[in-house]
Amino acid sequence: MSEKKRKLPSLTVQILIATIGGIVFGSLAGEWATKLAFIGTIFIRLIQMSVVVLVMTAVIAAIGDIGGQGAGKMGFHTFKWIIFFTLVSAGLGVLLAVIVKPGLGITITDAANITEAVEEVSLQDTLVNFVPTNIIQAMSNGDMVPCILFSVLFGLAVGVYTRSSNNRVVMDWITGLNGVVMNMIKIVMNVAPIGIFFLLANAAGGTGFKVIIPMIKFLGCLLVGDIIQFLMYGPLTAALCGVSPLKMPKKFVKMSMMALTTTSSAICLPTKMEDAVTKFGVSRKVADFTGPITMSMNSCGAVQCYVLAIFFMSQATGVTLTPYQMVMAVVLSCLMCMGTIVVPGGMVITYTFLATSLGLPLESIAILLGIDWFSGMFRTLMNVDVDVMIGMLVSKKCGEFDIEVYNETKTVEYN
């Protein structure tokens, strides 16, 4: 008697089911659902513990294999598109803030307990801290920009050593370690629906969706901004790569669900890099280079959110921004995207830095933090999806774009 194997739904479908189920369960269970939040936290940590090693080995391997001139070309086009998309997104944030005025009519909550716990961070300190004095400490703290800077230099040095000595021992070891870490993450991703279920149950039962109501204009601006960005960036990327933009939405589903439910670019990194190669036609070499760098430095969704947050704080407290302050709002928001905290819960430092830098009352931060999980959904969604578009554009410019993979006439594995 032969047994028929039941085919499980795809991981994307499982995540979708977990998303709906978590929201329903949390809403029905209420505060009790927060007791199970530790299960979602364990899932986040299982991914987080591998992210730093994945990022560093991917960048080192990519740069070491490319060589100085190739790495320079790839780096130039990567940062060119990062700057372009970031500035456009920041400008869109200003436009939406001026038209919608999300801060008007908001009652400010006392934020004394928050401001006391936050250390003031200067712009100079932020830039200096991009350069590590101890790479092990930077790795243990999860400071992504210092880790990437070290990896770039290490990759260049490994490339020089490999070519001059004709010895690939170090390069092969780095590549092998990257493969092992990717396999670890693939194993962990099998429990992603469980982790996501309890993350959303905690949000629905603990925070409660009622906090959205007073901030509906702010969150609405983020949603409209994301839609506008997709309508601009998607067709632009498709046109420059010579493909149809109509195929993009389906390809983005899996990573978009991860972004919406985890609100973390770092957690989405493995899925993003794999999908970029297997669904969007980005070469493995380009994906390993652009994936980690865009995770830390390309934050279209975040910069839009930061700009909107500045105008919200201004409008909610009755402080009128001068033209100079408006320009500084854009500049500071863009700078904060370089090395932005890519795990949930890091926005308190960002909001405090922006408020203090522009002389805005800190009291307005409290309500922004109250809905941070929800605004994080829109931030991360845009960040992650545009990262892949940058990978496509860089891949096309470097002659590494596989149009057959994008058009689904050819399949490749991420290995």
* Domain 24-401: which CATH number of 1.10.3860.10, 1.10.150.120, 1.10.3720.10, 3.30.70.20: 1.10.3860.10
| Per-residue model confidence as pLDDT tens digits over 384-406 | 999 999 999 999 998 889 999 99
Closest CA to 254 of 262, 242, 243: 262
Please give the backbone phi and psi of residue 7, each rounded to the nearest 5 degrees, phi first. -85, 120
pLDDT, residue 32, reads 86
Domain boundaries, the chain: 24-401
Closest CA to 348 of 116, 130, 90: 116
Q: Quote the CA–CA distance of 141 and 62 in Å, as a whole number.
A: 24
Longest dimension (CA), the chain: 79
pLDDT, residue 109, reads 46
| Per-residue model confidence as pLDDT tens digits over 298-348 | 888 889 999 999 998 888 888 888 888 888 888 878 877 765 444 444 566
Whether the Cβ atoms of residue 58 and residue 282 lie closer than 8 Å to each other: no
Q: Quote the CA–CA distance of 93 and 357 in Å, as a whole number.
A: 18
Low-confidence ranges of the chain (pLDDT < 70): 1-6, 66-71, 106-126, 206-214, 338-349, 366, 370, 415
pLDDT, residue 114, reads 44
pTM equals 0.74
